[in-house]
Structure 1
Amino acid sequence: MERDQPLTPAGRLFVQPQMDQIINVAIAVDSPFAVDVAAVKAEVRSSVMLKLPRFCSLMVRDSCGREYWRRTEVDVDRHVIVRHHPLSDDPLVSDEDAVNDFIADLAVSSPLPADKPLWEIHILVAHATAVFRLHHALGDGISLMSMLLSCCRKADDPSQLPTIGAAAAAPPRGWSAWALVKLVWYTLVYALEFTVRALWLRDRTTAVSGGAGVELWPRKLATARFRLDDMKIVKRAVNESTINDVLFGIISCGLSRYLDIKSPKALPPEGLRMTGVAMVNLRAQPGLQDISKLMSSSNSSTSWGNKFGMIILPVYYHKGDSNPIEFVKRAKSMIDKKKLSLEALFSYKVGHLVTSFLGAKFAAILSYRILSNTSFTISNIIGPREKITIVGHTVKHIRVTSSSLPHAITMHMVSYGGVAEMQILTAKEIIPDPKILAKCFEDALLEMKEVALGSNIIS
């Protein structure tokens, strides 16, 4: 008999009530006809998913309340949930809106049953979409996306697995005396900021602010789309910038435009700070991972699980007449300083130590306070560049979101086939019109592109 395996510190954190997180991945296919449910179940039974111990285990607690994984038989029929009828009776509601509304409802107070392994697949036949619900305790976004892509094939060569788009590796650090001084200084500064965020420091209230308890409010979900070629044009306009610099420039500019729309008579002060929480992959290899290496590696920095740290990233309000490229320059300046620090590693190690020595409940309280005192969450995963298929159907798009948090805005972006799609989950009572916010982000990129193309910066 296999012995029960304890949850990792990160896994224990994600099963606490304040931080209970489920990742929802919507994969839509191009085929207009009904999805072959039997084929989906057969694919699940033979997939890598059921070779991973955590996907074949119950999460149980002992008499002291400590969490463990206990191996069990997997009944695929209980995990694959089929809905044949449309999600909405209104024929004017598009597939995208219907699925987004469905996921927004799942994002609030919809836990996974504890009497089976912590994952489900909802097949929405009428909308040609599968929604994978995977508990964060099973692994982080990089692990789970790598696992899902291992179930896919290239559209132009069904015998081949998708090409994993790797993020650009960070340049090696120059270990001069001055570089070490900056590393120590910035790490101390950002570690102190983490501490005061957990204790008392809070963003100033705006039209997009959340707070404690907001994770229980009803949600709305909208999608913003960005062409990667457009983002690369803007990237080349700002020397040595990255796609992430452009993304945070878009968020800063888009939030500024949204506040101009929502508060035209009471605009925030120029330069108002809105702080975001971003997730950083701490594995040695950037981007998505080879699933076989994740499964076989015994190295904690490359193996399956939750291997990410948090960093605090501020964006700033500026009036609508600002040059949009300036938002990217400010974002690059801020992110460059973050890269010089060990902030992400610090947050990961401190979270591990607090959970191990003071308990997951205390670690959850600290994490919850950091989220309550900031304004939004953002993550970005690079997906496959080429078109892929799943169970023989060409994938139309891949979208990711998660359970609601104390933030009024949660943003998750995944790129696929030359397009980056960002799911914007909002608290309905605070931001009732997330499509307007999505349009602000999309327009921000287009404005940046126009300025970049018209400024002779790009040949």
Structure 2
Amino acid sequence: MAGEAGLRLRSIRTKRADTTGGSDYGDGEQREPVTPAGRMFNQPIFDCYVICIVGFKNMIDIPTIKTGLQQTFVQHKRFSSIMEKDKHGSEYWVRTEVNLDDHIVVPLASAMNLESDRRIEKYAAGLGLAPPLDRSRPLWEVHVLNFESADAAASLILRLHHSLGDGISLMSLFLASTRSVANPDSLPSVRPGLNSNQKKAESMKGYIFLFWRMLIVIWCTLIEVGKFFLLLLGVKDSQTPLKGFSGVEHSPKSLYTGSIRMDDMRIVKNAVGGTVNDVFLGIISAGIRRYLEQHADEVSVHPSENQGNLIVNGARKATAGKVSGQQKCTDFLRIRATVLVNTRPKAGLQELASMMKGGSQARWGNNVGYVIIPMCVKHFDDPLDYIRKAKEVSDRKKYSLEAPFSYASGQLVMKLFGAKAAANLTYRSVLHTTLSISNMIGPLEEVMFMGNPITYIVPTSYGQAQSLCIHLQTYMGKAKLVVTVAKDIIPDPDVLLQHILDALKDMKQAACARGH
């Protein structure tokens, strides 16, 4: 396993810093309650990790990286704390001394497949079966891979326990640790969002508009919460070659990446008046449909799910209606994706950078809910219809309070029945879906960490009860599409990845043919 194949720098066991202050855990500055979601991620059944591969233009100097980590990550409370329980069983983050030698892994050359052009991805995939992080010290580690790959002279892999924070918060912290190559004194530039004053101005156009908007929110929330309850009650996705099973989180992983030009996605989104996120959902839907068409003999749809059509071992049996053609074998499949959503205001890069210099920090943690996204895998003659269907779903989700509801319901279950029950319920819900997806926004310009320019950023995650995770990470006008799978279930993720990339290509051609 990749985690065991590395040669650690001088290993010295950390010991907890003296934070007694007259009590077992110290004052409020040294002790901080673990958020409900953090407690859930700390349960054995939901032991999830965030993995991020960072490519560098130059070889990585170990002492320089250690200095950079000391000045950035170690300054953050989460990265210099461990979880402990008080006498009442409540969990807290407690500050501790950090020995960076315990958190840096340098793999031996013999542990790397030097003949492979995918050795970095294979090593990162191997971390899915690496031993759990030592809970007697902060739950993160950095793997330094000074091996050249197609896109970088060296790579660094961050392995972070999900209890430290949600993906968006962790990515924000990482970006706050970098600087612009063009202007070394400035933080990276990310896509500006709509500020609160603009949103308020939009929402105050009139009382009629506000009343109508409130009705839409209530209606959409009722619909999505109803679907959420159906998921909790056991409504499962159709059985396909992409669907996982209980225990899939412990299966060996494969990781493949592809490159996308953001200009291509903008051409497609402008053609339908949507967003980049709509295009992301649309190309995944179209790619999955193409993949499943190739595996039609492995697709099984229950009659209650397909409105009267059953596909068993490649043979279609009509029970109410009649459908012909292999290309329509996916029309009645139920395939859903889970998406984690941050339910609190995010700390900005300036605030995070100030915090790491010793200033105050924003409230951190896993304040996340999740939404369920239905993936449209029907056959469409017009490839842009996948984007239109994705836009319909996205627009409905934007008016729904599904994410805050899922977060609040998780808190309620945790208070009433404990973290183990909440983790089991969430695990069961995720297991009923097919995949998870994430769209992360990166810097607009080239950035560097400790003077070493970054060439690419590839995030993923391990530990969830799904066999397929798809991530999109933007950086410098391009995007990395990341497909991570349980290879015992999906042995050909490169084929699925190519189908998704081909779907975007066809959509761009369709958009350009219409003058966009």
In the superposition, the TM-score normalised over structure 1's length comes to 0.91
Q: Distance in 2 between matches of 1:181 and 1:55?
A: 43
Report matched runs for 1:24-173 at 5 Å.
Answer: 24-31=51-58, 34-47=59-72, 49-62=73-86, 65-83=89-107, 85=109, 87-91=111-115, 93-94=116-117, 97-108=118-129, 110-127=131-148, 128-167=154-193, 172-173=202-203
Out of 17, 34, 38, the position equivalent to 1:7 is 34
- Contact 2:176/2:349 (8 A) holds in 1: no
Equivalent residue of 1:107, what SS?
Answer: helix
What residue ranges of structure 1 are gaps of 5+ in the alignment?
none
- Contact 1:294/1:304 (8 A) holds in 2: no
Matched, 1:272 2:305: no
Question: In structure 1, what is the equivalent of residue 246 of structure 2?
Answer: 212
Shift of 1:87: 4.4
Q: Distance in 2 between matches of 1:89 and 1:253?
A: 34
Distance 1:303 1:5, change over 3 A: closer
Shift of 1:185: 1.7
- Contact 1:119/1:133 (8 A) holds in 2: yes
Question: In structure 1, what is the equivalent of residue 151 of structure 2?
Answer: none
Question: In structure 2, what is the equivalent of residue 434 of structure 1?
Answer: 493
Distance 1:446 1:255, change over 3 A: same
Which has the larger displacement, 71-80 or 346-355?
A: 346-355
Shift of 1:421: 1.0
Equivalent residue of 2:391, what SS?
Answer: helix
Equivalent residue of 1:415, what SS?
Answer: strand
Q: Distance in 1 between matches of 2:372 and 2:193?
A: 21
Which has the larger displacement, 393-402 or 160-169?
A: 160-169
For 1:191, the aligned partner's letter is: V
Distance 1:284 1:60, change over 3 A: closer
Report matched runs for 1:331-350 at 5 Å.
Answer: 331-350=390-409
For 1:19, the aligned partner's letter is: F
Distance 1:429 1:10, change over 3 A: same
The share of aligned pairs that are identical, in percent, is 37
Q: Distance in 1 between matches of 2:230 and 2:348?
A: 31
Equivalent residue of 2:147, what SS?
Answer: helix
Shift of 1:61: 3.4
Out of 416, 419, 422, the position equivalent to 2:481 is 422
- Contact 2:37/2:368 (8 A) holds in 1: no
For 2:83, the aligned partner's letter is: M
Shift of 1:318: 2.2
Question: In structure 1, what is the equivalent of residue 4 of structure 2?
Answer: none
Shift of 1:422: 2.3
Matched, 1:308 2:368: yes
- Contact 1:385/1:416 (8 A) holds in 2: yes
Equivalent residue of 2:40, what SS?
Answer: helix
Q: Distance in 2 between matches of 1:286 and 1:251?
A: 30
Q: Distance in 1 between matches of 2:336 and 2:162?
A: 23
- Contact 2:46/2:463 (8 A) holds in 1: no
Distance 1:254 1:86, change over 3 A: farther
Equivalent residue of 1:316, what SS?
Answer: coil
Shift of 1:431: 0.7
Question: In structure 1, what is the equivalent of residue 10 of structure 2?
Answer: none
Shift of 1:358: 2.2
Question: In structure 1, what is the equivalent of residue 433 of structure 2?
Answer: 374
Equivalent residue of 1:114, what SS?
Answer: coil
Equivalent residue of 2:395, what SS?
Answer: helix
CA-based RMSD: 2.3
- Contact 2:83/2:93 (8 A) holds in 1: yes
Shift of 1:147: 1.3
Q: Distance in 1 between matches of 2:76 and 2:65?
A: 18
Shift of 1:105: 1.6
Matched, 1:410 2:469: yes
Question: In structure 1, what is the equivalent of residue 311 of structure 2?
Answer: none
Q: Distance in 1 between matches of 2:219 and 2:428?
A: 25
For 1:317, the aligned partner's letter is: V
Shift of 1:167: 4.5
Shift of 1:86: 6.2
Shift of 1:412: 2.0
Q: Distance in 2 between matches of 1:287 and 1:228?
A: 24
- Contact 1:166/1:382 (8 A) holds in 2: no
Q: Distance in 2 between matches of 1:64 and 1:213?
A: 32
Shift of 1:63: 5.6
Equivalent residue of 1:413, what SS?
Answer: strand
- Contact 2:187/2:350 (8 A) holds in 1: no
> Which string of whole-angstrom CA distances, capped at 9 and with x for unpartnered residues, describes residues 304-360 of structure 1?
2223321110012223x6321000000101111111111111112222222233211
Q: Distance in 1 between matches of 2:243 and 2:112?
A: 30
Distance 1:206 1:326, change over 3 A: same
For 1:385, the aligned partner's letter is: L
- Contact 1:288/1:382 (8 A) holds in 2: no
Shift of 1:44: 1.3
- Contact 1:123/1:131 (8 A) holds in 2: yes
Question: In structure 1, what is the equivalent of residue 47 of structure 2?
Answer: 20
Q: Distance in 2 between matches of 1:195 and 1:304?
A: 29
Which has the larger displacement, 179-188 or 80-89?
A: 80-89
Question: In structure 2, what is the equivalent of residue 262 of structure 1?
Answer: 295
In the superposition, the TM-score normalised over structure 2's length comes to 0.81
Q: Distance in 1 between matches of 2:110 and 2:445?
A: 30
- Contact 2:258/2:480 (8 A) holds in 1: yes
- Contact 2:39/2:419 (8 A) holds in 1: yes
For 1:242, the aligned partner's letter is: T
- Contact 1:380/1:413 (8 A) holds in 2: yes
Tell me how many residue pairs correspond in the alignment. Answer: 446
Q: Which of 1 and 2 has greater Rg?
A: 2
Q: Distance in 2 between matches of 1:158 and 1:294?
A: 19
> Which string of whole-angstrom CA distances, capped at 9 and with x for unpartnered residues, describes residues 118-138 of structure 1?
111110112411111111111
